[in-house]
Amino acid sequence: MDLDVTAARLGVPVEDVERVHRLACDLSSAPLPAKADALAILNRLAVRPDDAAEIMAGWPDPDSPLWTAELRWLLDRSIALVRADLGGHGWLSPGPALPRERGPAWRHLYVYAYLALVEVVRGYHRDHGIADAVSWATLADLGRNLAIDRRMRREGWPVMQSWLTLHARGGLYELGRLQHQRGGTALDLHIPESGPLTPEAVAASLDQARAFFPRHFPDEHYTAFACGSWLLDPQLLEYLPDDSNIVRFQRMFELEPYEEPEELDADVEVLRFVFRTLTTPLDQLPRHTVLQRAIIDHLSAGRHWRVRRGRFPI
């Protein structure tokens, strides 16, 4: 295939196409579920009806005029690329960010890849004795992220498409209030948008993880819980009350020395997670909560937020 032509027709940099071709050229893909079963699967993945309708409208039927040869190639190779790292727990891009305004096939290509991988990763879960309830709770982060992306006017997906490969490879598990990512000697904690971050909910999730990982991954030995987030920025203590859930969560951790991240902009991450927008001017953002007011006032004063890492023993 001509990679330059493929990249041009996809509207993406040729080096992104070259990466997919290099990593997935000879690997095995996986089929999508039957279209007749897709709505039930989307429902189990907590996909909202409006998002599900778009996904079904863009379904890659063999005779669909929405699917060019380049899109079909990218879908097949993206599935193969992610499948090849089954059991992996590092950050993995499934492919280039597409011009999603071109229609549902372009907008949801990586959703179709995720759907093809659902049974692959559920098989991996079964091999490790993981209950179906945990599998579906974990994989249902797809629906949550699609809903957030819709709220963000489609601004959020380029990050989400890589984030969701953790779920599709068995690298991350949602246990109660927190998501736990495997890797190294520490379980990395992530905080989905699923209700208050109360100490009780956090403690219950940590207790689940203490039992879950030795049982299902006995060859992996974790000594700590870790987290890298703007939620651990001590500057929040200037604004939030001592009894706030965020402050109580933050105080669980011993912070590592601060290092400026190479690619991650903490100010952007704060706007993404607190306001679910990346482009709204500060003076137009809502100020309903103490946290919202803190974020706006801090940035308006010309100050910046920081992503901090911390850990505490299991």
Nearest to 46 by CA among 179, 145, 129: 145
Q: For 187, phi and psi rounded to 5 degrees?
A: -90, 120
Question: What residue ranges do the domains of the chain occupy?
Answer: 1-170, 174-314
Q: What is the largest CA-CA distance in the chain?
A: 60
Q: What is the DSSP string of 135-157?
A: HHHHHTHHHHHHHHHHHTTT-SH
Closest CA to 166 of 186, 193, 188: 188
Residue 153, token pair as written in the block: 């006017």
Give the pair of three-digit tokens for residue 134: 């945990």
Assess contact for 78 and 24: CB atoms under 8 A: yes
Q: Spell out the CATH class of 174-314.
A: alpha beta
d(CA 163, CA 168): 10
pTM of the model: 0.94
pLDDT tens-place string over residues 60-79: 999 999 999 999 999 999 99
Q: Could you give the C-alpha distances from 241 to 196, 197, 236, 281, in angstroms and in order?
A: 16, 15, 9, 26
Tens-digit pLDDT profile for residues 131-149: 999 999 999 999 999 999 9
- Residues 58 and 49: their CA atoms lie apart, in Å, by 14
- Report d(CA 69, CA 240) in Å as an integer: 53
Residue 31: predicted pLDDT: 97
pLDDT band of residue 15 (cuts 50, 70, 90) is very high
Q: What is the pLDDT of residues 241-277, one digit of tens each?
A: 999 999 999 999 999 988 877 777 899 999 999 999 9
3-class SS letters over 85-98: CCCCCCCCCCCCCC
